[in-house]
Structure 1
Amino acid sequence: MSVSPPVAPLRLDPAKFRDPQLTARGEARASVALAGLRTLWLNTGTLCNVTCRNCYIESSPRNDALVYLTAAECRTFLEEIERDALPVEEIGFTGGEPFLNRDLPAMLEEALARGHRALVLTNAMKPMRNQAAALLALRDRYGDRLTLRVSLDHYGALLHDLERQDGSFAVAIEGLAWLAQNGFRVNVAGRAAFGGEGEAALRAGFAALFADRGIPVDAADPVALMLFPEMDAAVDVPEITTACWGLLRLSPESLMCASSRMVVKRRGAARPAVVACTLLPYDPQFELGGTLAEASRPVALNHPHCARFCVLGGAACSR
C-alpha cells in the first residue's frame, strides 16, 4: 500500500516566533534556564532504514544532514561530564536509527562503564537485530542500566504501517519480543492522537498487544509506554510568555531543556555541536556551542515545538 501524505495548508501565524525576546504581541517571551544537566542525548546520525510520513527530524535512508557520531567524539563529552562533575544520570541515543551507526555498541559501553544509565530509541528492526551479539554482551555486563525504547506508532499494524512502511509493524514486534525474551529492559513510544482514539483506549489496545505477545511493558505506566503528542508544524499554536508559567501552573524546570541537551554532528562540520533539545536539531538559533559548558545558557522558547510539544500538550494559555 502506498499512500502520500496530504499537503496541509500553513496555518501558523507568520508574525509569531520571530524574536527570541518578545512575542508577536510584544510580550516577554518565556525562557528556560538549565537547572542541571541530567540527560545528555547523542544523535548518532539521521540515516534510518525506513522513511516515515511524519518524522520531525526527517530521517530516511538518504538523509545524512546529521552524520554518524563517532565513539571518540562521544568520549569527549563523557570526559567533560566527568571532569566538571556534571549531574548527568542518563545518556540517550537517538537518530535516525541508532543501530545503523556501527560505533553505537562502543558508545554504549563507554557511557555505561562510566556509571551512567543508557537509553536507546530504536524501531527494533533489522539494524538492531544485526547488532544482537553486542547487545547481549552489554545486557550481561550492565543489566537494567540499559533501556531500549521501541517506537510503535499504534498497537495495530494498519496504522503503524501507514506511518512507516508495509510490513514494518510485524518486524518491529518481532524485535520487541526478542528484547523481552532476552531480558532487556524495554519501553515503548506511541502517538497520543493516532487513529483518533483517547488515551485510555490507546493504553488498553497496547496492553492487549503486550499481553498477547508476552511483552512485559506496563501500558498504564506513562514512562513504560510514552504517548507523544502530534508534531504538525502547519497548525497554529500560541507563543509562550513569562505569564504563562503562572496561568498554566507550570514550572520551567519541568521542561526538557531545563535538564537536557543534545549533541549533533552536521554534515561537513569539523566537530559536533550541542543543541537545546532533541526536537530542534536543525534550527541554528538552538545551537548553543561546541561544549556542554557553552550550552549551559538559557533557552528562549522561540519555536512552535516549544509550545506544541513541551509546554501545552493540548492546553492553551493565550491565543
Structure 2
Amino acid sequence: MNQPAEQKRYFLNPDKFRDPNVTADGQPRATVTLRTLETLWINTGTLCNLECRNCYIESSPSNDRLVYITHEEVCDYLNEIERESLGTTTIAFTGGEPFLNPDMLPILETCLTRGYTVLLLTNATKPIMRPRVQRGLKALRDTHGERLTLRVSIDHFDPHWHELERGTDTFEPVVEGLRWLTDEGFQIDIAGRLFAGDDEATMRAGYTRLFQDRGIALNAEDPGKLVLFPEMDARLDAPEVTTACWQKLGKHPDQMMCSSSRMIVKRKGAERPSVIACTLLPYDERFELGHTLTDAQQTVPLNHPHCAQFCVLGGASCSG
C-alpha cells in the first residue's frame, strides 16, 4: 500500500466563504436550486458508540447537539411529502449511529410500509449486534426485501488505517457486523474514504482481498457496492465555486446533492426539527432553511469549503 505523499497543507483563507453572493475576489458565487426533493435525509441524532478522528458531524458517545428524532416527527415530514406531492422516492438516515435511536426500527418500518426506498448509514458494530435490533432488521428484510439498504462504514481495507480514523479495536467488530448482515441476505453497500494516499484501483483491490479473505459476499469493483468518498477538512484551503466554474469544469448545478435532497435535524433544546440544505453542514446556520420541506425549497449558495471539496471538485454525493 502506498503511503500518503508528503505535501504542504495550506489553511483556509479567512476571506473566503463569507459572502453568500460573491467570492473573496468579487466574482458571483455559484448557487444550486432544488429541482425535485428526490431524497430526504434524516439525522437520527449525533450520539455514537464511536468517536472518529475526522467525523464531519463530530459524533461521539457524548455529543448530543443533534438529539434523537422521534417516530412522530418523521411521520410529520412523510405526511408533508405526500400532502404536497413533493415526489420523494428515498428516505435516508445518518447519525451518529442510527441504531442507538430507540425509535429507529419503528421509523424504518413506517418509511418502508409507505413505499419509500430506504438507505441507512451505520458503523455495523455493537448497536447492530443487539438481539432486539437483529430481530427487527430481519423482520424488515422479510417484509420489504431489497427496498432497505444498509451502508456500512469501513474507512479502509487495512486495519491500521481504519483504526487510525475510528479508534483502537474497531476493525474486527465492523467486519463481524458486516459478515452477519451479508450472511443474512441484507442489501449492503460499503462507504470507504480516500484519506490514506491510495488511488481508487488500489482501494478496490484491497477491499476485494478483504472480502474474499473474510468470506463476505460483496463485489468491491462495483461502484454501487463500494462508494469511495473524498476526504473533507474545512480548515484547509479550498477554491470558491463561481458561476463560471460550471462551464470550466463541465458540470451543472443539477448534479449537486442540494439540487435533489435536504436533511432534517433536531437541535438540542429546539421545539421542533429543522430542514438544512446539506447532510455535510449540520451546524452551519447559514444553511438552515426553515422547519418544513416547503420552506426549504430555496436556492442554496455554495458558500462552504465542503461544497468545493466534496461535491463540485470531489464529484461525490452522500446518496452514492
The TM-score, its normalising length taken from structure 2, stands at: 0.94
Q: Which residue of 2 aligns with 1:18?
A: 18
Is residue 250 of structure 2 the alignment partner of residue 287 of structure 1?
no
**Is the contact made by 1:48 and 1:97 (CA closer than 8 Å) also made in structure 2?**
yes
Q: Which residue of 2 aligns with 1:140?
A: 142
Letter of the aligned partner of 2:254 in structure 1? E
Distance in 2, matches of 1:232 and 1:146, equals: 31
Distance in 1, matches of 2:254 and 2:37, equals: 11
1:116-155 mapped onto 2 (5 Å cutoff): 116-130=116-130, 131-155=133-157
Letter of the aligned partner of 2:84 in structure 1? D
Shift of 1:146: 0.3
Deviations 1:27-81 (A, max 9, x none): 1100000011110001000000011011010000000000000000000000111
Deviations 1:171-191 (A, max 9, x none): 000000000000000000001
Distance in 2, matches of 1:116 and 1:186, equals: 17
1:254-273 mapped onto 2 (5 Å cutoff): 254-273=255-274
SS of 2:40's partner is strand
Shift of 1:234: 2.1
Distance in 2, matches of 1:307 and 1:197, equals: 21
Q: Which moved more, 1:41-50 or 1:230-239?
A: 230-239
Distance in 2, matches of 1:217 and 1:191, equals: 17
SS of 2:121's partner is strand
Letter of the aligned partner of 1:107 in structure 2? I
Shift of 1:197: 1.2
Letter of the aligned partner of 1:243 in structure 2? A
Letter of the aligned partner of 1:288 in structure 2? L
Q: Which residue of 2 aligns with 1:77?
A: 77
SS of 1:288's partner is coil
Q: Which residue of 2 aligns with 1:241?
A: 242
Shift of 1:302: 0.5
Distance in 1, matches of 2:67 and 2:9, equals: 31
Distance in 1, matches of 2:216 and 2:91, equals: 24
Q: Which residue of 2 aligns with 1:188?
A: 190
Distance in 2, matches of 1:195 and 1:227, equals: 12
Q: Which residue of 2 aligns with 1:106?
A: 106
Distance in 1, matches of 2:9 and 2:198, equals: 24
For structure 2, the residue ranges without an aligned partner over 5 or more in a row are 1-7, 316-320
Q: Which residue of 2 aligns with 1:278?
A: 279
Distance in 2, matches of 1:300 and 1:216, equals: 41
Letter of the aligned partner of 1:267 in structure 2? K
Letter of the aligned partner of 1:285 in structure 2? R
SS of 1:289's partner is coil
The TM-score, its normalising length taken from structure 1, stands at: 0.94
Letter of the aligned partner of 1:221 in structure 2? D
Distance in 1, matches of 2:46 and 2:136, equals: 22
1:153-164 mapped onto 2 (5 Å cutoff): 153-164=155-166
For structure 1, the residue ranges without an aligned partner over 5 or more in a row are 1-7, 315-319
Distance in 1, matches of 2:206 and 2:70, equals: 39
Number of residues of Structure 1 aligned to a counterpart in Structure 2? 306
Distance in 2, matches of 1:227 and 1:126, equals: 24
Across the aligned residues of Structure 1 and Structure 2, the Cα RMSD in angstroms comes to: 1.2
Runs of 4 or more above 4 Å deviation: none
Distance in 2, matches of 1:273 and 1:189, equals: 26
Letter of the aligned partner of 2:112 in structure 1? L
Deviations 1:12-31 (A, max 9, x none): 01110010000011111000
**Is the contact made by 1:39 and 1:92 (CA closer than 8 Å) also made in structure 2?**
yes
Distance in 1, matches of 2:292 and 2:163, equals: 39
**Is the contact made by 1:9 and 1:234 (CA closer than 8 Å) also made in structure 2?**
no
Distance in 2, matches of 1:217 and 1:299, equals: 37
1:153-232 mapped onto 2 (5 Å cutoff): 153-192=155-194, 194-232=195-233
Shift of 1:10: 6.6
Q: Which moved more, 1:167-176 or 1:215-224?
A: 215-224
**Is the contact made by 1:47 and 1:95 (CA closer than 8 Å) also made in structure 2?**
yes
Q: Which residue of 1 aligns with 2:3?
A: none
Distance in 2, matches of 1:112 and 1:181, equals: 22
